[in-house]
Amino acid sequence: MDFNASSSFENENEGVSIAEHFLDFLDVKSTTGKNQTDVLLQELDELGLQIKDCRGQGYDNGSNMKVELVEVTEDPKANNEAQSVKNEISSYEFLLALCIWYDVLFAVNSVSKNLQAQKMHLGVASQLLQGLVQFFQKFKDEGFVAATLTARELGETLGVEPKFKEARQRKKRRMFEYEGEDEPMQESAEQTFKVEYFYVIADTAAQSLKRRFEQIASYDTMFGFLYHVKELKEIKEDKLFQKCTDLESFLSFEEEKDVCGRELFSELKVLREILPAEVVTAAGILRFMNRI
């Protein structure tokens, strides 16, 4: 498990800088969440860092999922399974699925790269995620047709016939005694794939991103006035005071708090009056404060 930390520091030539630093590789005997937590807390204690003073996030990356590898020998059963896999990945459904996932991952990756930009802040991050949510809402309506066209073009190149497997047969339920015998009802194979595969992907992605957007939006609501210099300069004093006290409550736990809302309000009232016009970013505010 690698261990990174972000911090702000002062440099006589460059002023205030915020950077991430690699600290160490931590040896873990077990990849369970509890064991990783215990190892991390022990390392923080050895470094003299208090967990209550740390702010950040961690990624499991699915390391708790263990896979047992089994050696496959040459036998008829293995050959049949290999042939089945070959047939599956040579099918039109598989090709269409690849096209769908390409569109999904391309959109997510584009936004993800922007979110990692050095000058990214909460307001822009919130807008990017909101745009991605809207993309998937539109993608559900139009993405299937676009992916189908792409899959057919690829199919012509690869020699894959644009044909779905035979659709399942469903029987129409009898509602009354006088109705005739149940008749099989043909369901379009393409429609089945669209409903049971494409819609599931689009809805799952949209819901997941919606939760992330709502989380980032809530952070922007709480911290945004510190990032948006123009808003900080123009906001009325009563609203500024309310935001400062709200931030105090948000960053409090039991009897401890990270900031005093009233003191922050007093400092920001003075700061916004003395900020030079050319200071338009949060990083610019830090550099300006470092000089005074």
pLDDT tens-place string over residues 218-231:
888 888 888 888 88
DSSP-assigned beta bridge partners for residue 16: 10
Q: What is the pLDDT of residue 186?
A: 44
Whether pLDDT at 10 is above 80: no
Q: Which residues contact 143 (CB under 8 A, 6 or more apart)?
A: 100, 103, 198, 202
Phi, psi of 286 (to 5 degrees): -60, -45
**Pick the residue with more confidence: 72 or 256?**
256
Whether pLDDT at 177 is above 60: no
Tokens representing residue 60 in the block: 């499991």
Within the chain, strands assigned E span 2-11, 15-25, 169-171, 184-186, 252-253, 256-257
